[in-house]
Amino acid sequence: MYIVTEQIGGVTVIVVPGTELDASNYSEFKREVSDILAASRKVILDVSQLRFADSSGLGAILFCFKQLNETGGQLKLCGLSDRVRMAFELIRFHRIMDVYNTREEALAAFQSAS
């Protein structure tokens, strides 16, 4: 799995690669993002390529949220497809994580909080 990251004004943007985050690749995803999360305080997880996430994939996203939360960092998500958004809402992740339609909206939220 090749994780693409970008730094924008003190915010780390992590682009979740591929269209699926599930039992077949969640461990690799967690391993790849762990060091990135440890070195960051403000993170946007761009899931705009993602079309499917099973419980393992959603758990990997929760892992990101918890890891940042434990170190005083913040996570914002952007680009959820309708299917992934529906799964988020079903398990109420949208109540604990900040979700934005676009990367620009997520960046603006970090900037307005500063």
Residue 50 buriedness (CB in 10 A; 0-12 / 13-18 / 19+) = buried
Question: pLDDT by residue (tens digit) across 89-102?
Answer: 999 888 899 999 99
Nearest CA among 35, 97, 87, 33 for reference residue 60: 33
Nearest CA among 89, 24, 90, 93 for reference residue 64: 93
pTM, whole model, 2 decimals? 0.93
Domains of the chain: 4-113 (3.30.750.24)
Is residue 113 pLDDT above 90, yes or no?
A: no
CA distance 114 to 105: 15
Residue 99: phi and psi, rounded to 5, are -120, 130
Question: pLDDT by residue (tens digit) across 22-73?
Answer: 999 999 999 999 999 999 999 999 999 999 999 999 999 999 999 999 999 9
